[in-house]
Amino acid sequence: MTSVIETHKLCKWYGDVLGLNDVSLKIESGITGLLGPNGAGKSTLLKLITGQLKPNIGTIMVAGEKVRNNYSLFSKIGFCPEQDSFYEEMTGLQFISGLLRLNHYPFPEAQIRAKKALEIVELVDEEDRVLRSYSRGMRQRLKFAQAVAHDPEIIILDEPLNGIDPLAKRKLIRLIKDYRDKGKTIIVSSHVLPEIEAMTRRVILIHQGKIFAQGDIHYIRDLIDSHPHIISVKCSDPRGLAEKLIKEECILKINFGSSKGSLLIETNNRDRFFGVIPFLVVENDMEVYEITSPDDNLQAVFDYLIGK
């Protein structure tokens, strides 16, 4: 499969601060998730890909062309920025149609496309309201609308699901998948793993300006699974449960938690553990009050990957 976006040994400094370090990527068509904690370098990478910043070292090729100051390439790119900024005195329709005019669409066509884009994100009823009065979620959807209004081949979305309610999130995710089915190349950045998981299996993990992992999400999960997980269980008979669990091969260590009735279980196979525990609980007639995973977050994933 030919890559749509290629970067080679990309580095970017902000003064003394290293934003990106030796990033070499090949991104193919479909949805690619760009995952990393805040300050990892996701926005820097996306700004370099969209030509907003000039790399200090390295090259970027988008659709086989260099991107920096290659403005004709932008008719193929749609970018949804992270910042919440607009021309506040415009209405939603004026904003999108105005930007479409900058894509060289004549006025009548720009109006039609703008209305269509607003329809896609369900903002048609608010098209004549000034942007100043839009809510956070509406503004986020509007940003997405302006990114797709000119039907680009490459769609780059920087934290598109920030500030959106769960229902709107699901709709937007479905929309992104629809664009993938149309053959578009989409890069979505986020710091929330389940959001990315809902859209794609292909991810790039970035941390402190470096790419830590790239590929299928299950591959990354396997990496996680090879490191011990800690799971907390609160039940009516912690000692009894511990006695049963200790016999399982996937259990590495069991500690008694500080609060009454809690166990801290260390396992190297989470899936196996969650398969076993229901049987044990039912078999021994126990009551389980709570099961949580104190280290089931992105930071823990990265901690494991970078060897902390």
Partner 1 sequence: MCKKNKVGIQFFLQSINDVFCFFFDLGKRAKKTRIFYLISFLPVMMALLIKFLQPFYSNRNIEDPYIFSNMIMVFYLQFLILILSLFFGTSVCSEEIEGKTLIYLITRPISKASIIIGKYGAYMVLVILMTVIGVFLSFMILNINNLLDFSIYKVLLRDVSVLILGIICYSAFFTFIGTFIKRSILFGLIFSFGWENVIQYFPGSTQRFTIAHYLKSLLPSASSTRFSFLLFRLEPTSPRVAVLILIILTAIFLAIACLLFTVKDYILED
Q: For partner 1, which is the closer residue by CB, 139 or 244?
A: 139
Residue 50 found at the interface with partner 1 (CB under 8 A): yes
In 138-167, which positions are buried (b, 16+ CB within 10 angstroms) versus exposed (e)? bbbbbbbbbbbbbbbbbbbbbbbbbebeee
Q: For partner 1, which is the closer residue by CB, 18 or 90?
A: 90
Residue 155 found at the interface with partner 1 (CB under 8 A): no
Residue 89 found at the interface with partner 1 (CB under 8 A): yes
Residue 140 found at the interface with partner 1 (CB under 8 A): no
Stretch that binds partner 1, among 77-85, 164-172, 234-242, 292-300 (CB under 8 A): 77-85
Residue 14 found at the interface with partner 1 (CB under 8 A): yes
- Closest separation between CB of residue 156 and partner 1, Å? 9
Q: Label residue 78 exposed, middle or buried (CB < 10 Å: 0-12, 13-18, 19+).
A: buried
Binding partner 1 by CB under 8 A: which of 28, 65, 75, 112? 75
Contact between 84 and 138 under an 8 Å Cβ cutoff? The reply is no
Q: For partner 1, which is the closer residue by CB, 2 or 72?
A: 72
- Closest separation between CB of residue 71 and partner 1, Å? 5
Q: For partner 1, which is the closer residue by CB, 79 or 134?
A: 79
- Closest separation between CB of residue 143 and partner 1, Å? 9
Residue 74 found at the interface with partner 1 (CB under 8 A): yes
Residue 261 found at the interface with partner 1 (CB under 8 A): no
Binding partner 1 by CB under 8 A: which of 54, 66, 136, 253? 54
Binding partner 1 by CB under 8 A: which of 28, 87, 174, 287? 87
Q: Which of residues 100-129 bind partner 1 (CB under 8 A)?
A: 101-104
Binding partner 1 by CB under 8 A: which of 146, 185, 190, 267? 146
Enumerate binding residues for partner 1 (CB under 8 A). 14, 50-54, 69, 71-75, 77, 79, 81, 83, 85-87, 89-90, 94, 98-99, 101-104, 146
